Structure 1
Amino acid sequence: MCAYKRSIVCLYFVVLLGVAVMCYTQHLHPPVEIDPLPTMPRVKMPHMQPEEMTTFISQAETTMSERFDNFEPAIYNKGVVQDPGTPAWFMAASHFTSPSARNLSHVALISEETTKYIVKAFKLSRDQVSYGLPMMDVRDTSLGDHCPLEVDFPCQPRKYRAFSGYCNNVQSPHWGKANTRYLRFLPADYSDGVSLPRGSGGSDPLPSPREVSLAVHRDEDLPHPHLMAITAVWGEFISHDVAHTPQMTGFKGKRLKCCSVNFSDFHPECFPIRLPDDDPVHGIFLEMSGIRAVWNSPSDRLYSRTQRATKPSDIISRRVSGVR
């Protein structure tokens, strides 16, 4: 399982348990320096001509244009969308995708497809994809033209923190900022090195997450000596305040339908969970709906799939004030 790290937030589990902890910030006297992220290992990359990069990007743009302009409108016109009021619809609604996130995800998907073509052509390893490919400069290509321009405005003294999270840390203004990618403790471990969900190491897929849940979590009454059910509810409250990962959407931002659809109408971003035939709760169904998260590619870079955080990582009780 990949572990993600937000740069500013102390572990909310500490807050959840009510333990008083002082986070290391520049407000301490004397200030405590935060250790920098470890440097990336150097990997040898094959030489690529600019014309080759242009060709890969062009192929990716053609492939994604087919999805955006033909496939997605076609399944939308067939009525292959989530039915309002169903559990899958409510799940998708809780992972709302803003228009800006959808626009950026389109650019990121072209970047991902370009990465796939390069990985296949040069047979790149996982380390080459994680550490070498992002160093390739694509700013003078059509892909670079689509990437949003990031401008680091100076942090000005102000009474209130920015809602976007920008400049909440004046030394590292982008730490915890909304609409940025999650950072990883470890490199991504996709089965194709780019975006396909992790496999067993060979050609076989991993067991269904539902099977793992049934094997690990038993329906037993094991009261905790001092924690109550409200502890889990409070954990969810804090979790949803500091992180929000939207789901991919289809034509016109409609929520994708991934179960009980024809194979020809199966969206590439669907990842349904297979249910065991003897499932004690959902045995009458074949699978649970699963949609992959909106993904984010660093501007002007080629990268394996990374997930986007659309909320800043500070605790401000958005659910109380009604802010999404």
Structure 2
Amino acid sequence: MSRLRTKEANLLSKKSSILQPGSATYGHFRNSRRFNPADITEVMHIADKALEIAIATRVFKDRQGITNEELEEGRIQQNLRPTAIGQNCIPLPTCPLIPDKYRRIDGACNNIAHPTWGAPFTAYSRLLPPNYQDGIWSPRVSVVDEEPLPSPRLISTTIISDIDSPNHDYTLLVMQFGQFISHDFTQSMDMSYANGSAISCCDLEGTSILPPESTHYACMPIPLPHEDQFYGTFKQKCMNFVRSALAPSHDCTLGYSEQMNKLTHFLDASSVYGSTPEQTRELRSFHGGTLKVFDDFGRELLPLSKDPLACLTMEQGSACFESGDTRTNQMVTLVVMHTLFLREHNRLARSLQALNPLWTDEKLFLEARQILIAEMQVIIYKEFLPTVLGEEAIREFGLGLGYEKEYSLDYNPAINPSITNEFATAAFRFGHSTVDGQLRLYGPTKMEESIAIPEVMFYPSRMRHQKFLDEILSTLTTEPIQDVDPFMPEALTRYMFRGGNPFGVDLASINIQRGRDHGLRSYNDYRELTGLPRLKDFAEFGPEIAEKLYKVYRSVDDLDLWVGGLLESKAPGSLVGPTFRDIIADQFARLKKGDRYFFENGPSINPGYFSPDQLKELRKASISRIICDNSDGILLSRQAPKAFRKPGVPGNEFSDCNGPEIPSLDLSFWQA
């Protein structure tokens, strides 16, 4: 470890080994930053501890002659806490004997027997053991000759095309809400230097990969093919890629490396409130239970960011926002979702104060937060998941909600709710295929503007335009989603995070490389896990796809999970194929059944349980109601009740926001 630290110190003195602001890949790095610099220090401190355990595992493996298979099977069960290296384990939080009424901001102590489950800065869980070449952390290699797997960029340009394939049954809101909730429970963080500087794995011009003596141990750069028709124009041969920060395992034993989730793993609206008490304090107004806002001439917007690197420009008059998640400004449509839920919290807090004028700021904040989390959970399980997964998966995995005043009996303290690596790094990234490369804004009779997605990445100043919020909400709830398939817009495969540069990074390549970084096994292994037969030949995907796959992969058992999942035929009634469907359904079953504070749980389980009447009201929640209550009301006064579905058709006609078709919660049941 000391040798690595010495090399890192030497690299810090070289400009070429530090990623400089302004580049597209720096935009990717910036995307994982927190506005609180202390969090970066904490992440790297935990990652260093995990790396020490990985190094100790490698030494132990070599001395004892342990095989990779034995590591995968978890046969090294020695508890490290009583040993000298035990200081590197995740500290166990002190949990009260009587559980708190409200879930903790940091998610800890949800399960008293496993108090770190679901807490931030802890490891993802796994459906299958990872596939590392050395059993510990080295990326997997081809099953044919143990040579490196093909370049992710070569796979991207061969398999992923920019073809318009709209699915007119569903709206763009599916994509945008999916991204919003994914930022509620999963975020990896690239490793960085101890001082927070970004690591560079390519030379300053991107024309070559840095030589070994100038390469940080966390480097895993993506080689760009010589014949790349896009990046070749700019003489690019290297796309920067830095490995994810590690975390010690929950049980604190020697073994393979695990990646860190720096958010709470629960569905707890941490994207609104943050995942640490320090973040939450920064976001609260401490007046009437509300969150801070930026008052833009009477319109409540997210508070302005203090981080000078949070957006492309911080010049006077521009807007760059702050929320419970650092990625807020990544897309202006994401800013819109954050704005809706910020306003919803403040609307709830003010309504509760009117009903209970003696409640303190703290009481109002906690009650409004508890209601908003429940609303989000209802929207996810009642509207979003049936749309993405289909009713068959809802029944099979027990994802349905109860009826009116009934409490749930689903809670199982043996279920670890933590986000699985396969879900975070592959399956839930299906949403990248659903992005449309253009945002179309409509006037009363015609389209008035079409905005290329890269033009509003880290540049959300349009939020200050008076009509823009309502215009975007109209677009999200009427324009069709792109289908889930091996098609992605060039906005994501050429221009992601480009800023002012002529090119950006390729999100498809990043997804493939991230899966390898995290040790995901091949697609075939997950097919087998979900009960499907293993593929024996690429021809099973059909001749057109098979021809492309043969060009890049040497074996069907080399196929990356994210790629294979996008190539699958749809499961019945689902937007995704059966492998992704089951991985996603399994995760949301864990989040429902492994969360003591899930809104449906009754007094024998949930210390902050809702009354039967409150439960009945909460089940009325809908994303359409959130939009109706929190838009600016300039252009929006009507909304289809099922906002994820095609509007204006029988059964989903446009309805007045004040009418009974889009029910409102009766908050009088919260009057003390």
Q: Calculate the TM-score normalised by the size of structure 1.
A: 0.73
Partner of 1:4: none
Q: What is the CA distance between 1:316 and its match in structure 2?
A: 4.2
Structure 1 residues 227 and 282, CA gap change in structure 2 (3 angstroms): farther
Partner of 2:109: 167
Is this contact kept in 2: 1:297–1:306, CA < 8 A? Answer: yes
1:128-167 matches, cutoff 5 A: 128-151=70-93, 153-154=95-96, 156-167=98-109
Instruction: Identify the match of residue 239 of structure 2 among 279, 284, 288.
Output: 288
The runs of 4+ residues in structure 1 deviating greater than 6 Å are none
Q: What is the CA distance between 1:171 and its match in structure 2?
A: 6.8
Partner of 1:204: 147
Deviations along 1:251-294, whole A, 9 cap, x unmatched?
32221111113431111111011122232432331121111000
| Pair 1:309-2:310 in alignment | no
Determine which structure has greater relative contact order: mean sequence separation of CA pairs < 8 Å that are 6+ residues apart, divided by chain length.
1
1:105-124 matches, cutoff 5 A: 105-124=47-66
Instruction: Identify the match of residue 273 of structure 1 among 213, 218, 222.
Output: 222
| Pair 1:81-2:18 in alignment | yes
- Partner amino acid for 2:146? S
CA distance in 1, matches of 2:90, 2:46: 8
SS at 1:226 equivalent:
strand
SS at 1:177 equivalent:
coil
Q: What is the CA distance between 1:212 and its match in structure 2?
A: 1.9
Partner of 2:122: 180
Query: Which shifted more, 124-133 or 236-245?
Result: 124-133
1:20-99 matches, cutoff 5 A: 64-68=1-5, 70-79=6-15, 80-96=17-33, 98-99=40-41
- Partner amino acid for 1:107? K
Structure 1 residues 278 and 228, CA gap change in structure 2 (3 angstroms): farther
Partner of 2:181: 238
- Partner amino acid for 1:74? N
Is this contact kept in 2: 1:81–1:257, CA < 8 A? Answer: yes
CA distance in 1, matches of 2:98, 2:81: 30
- Partner amino acid for 2:256? S
CA distance in 2, matches of 1:92, 1:189: 26
Partner of 1:50: none
SS at 1:224 equivalent:
strand
Q: Calculate the TM-score normalised by the size of structure 2.
A: 0.36
SS at 2:242 equivalent:
coil
Q: Matched residues, percent identical? A: 27
SS at 2:244 equivalent:
coil
SS at 2:183 equivalent:
helix
Deviations along 1:102-145, whole A, 9 cap, x unmatched?
11111111111111122223332223113345412444443124
Deviations along 1:52-95, whole A, 9 cap, x unmatched?
xxxxxxxxxxxx11211x21111111222111122111211222
| Pair 1:323-2:266 in alignment | no
CA distance in 2, matches of 1:320, 1:153: 24
- Partner amino acid for 2:224? L
CA distance in 1, matches of 2:101, 2:88: 35
Is this contact kept in 1: 2:92–2:115, CA < 8 A? Answer: no
CA distance in 2, matches of 1:264, 1:152: 44
CA distance in 1, matches of 2:160, 2:212: 33
Q: What is the CA distance between 1:205 and its match in structure 2?
A: 0.9
CA distance in 1, matches of 2:141, 2:111: 38
Q: What is the CA distance between 1:155 and its match in structure 2?
A: 5.8
CA distance in 2, matches of 1:174, 1:266: 34
Deviations along 1:279-322, whole A, 9 cap, x unmatched?
24323311211110001122642111111111112334444551
Structure 2: 5+ residue stretches without partners: 34-38, 204-209, 274-322, 326-672
CA distance in 2, matches of 1:317, 1:149: 24
Is this contact kept in 1: 2:44–2:194, CA < 8 A? Answer: no
Query: Which shifted more, 128-137 or 254-263?
Result: 128-137
Instruction: Identify the match of residue 253 of structure 1 among 193, 196, 210.
Output: 196
Query: Which shifted more, 273-282 or 300-309?
Result: 273-282
Partner of 2:627: none
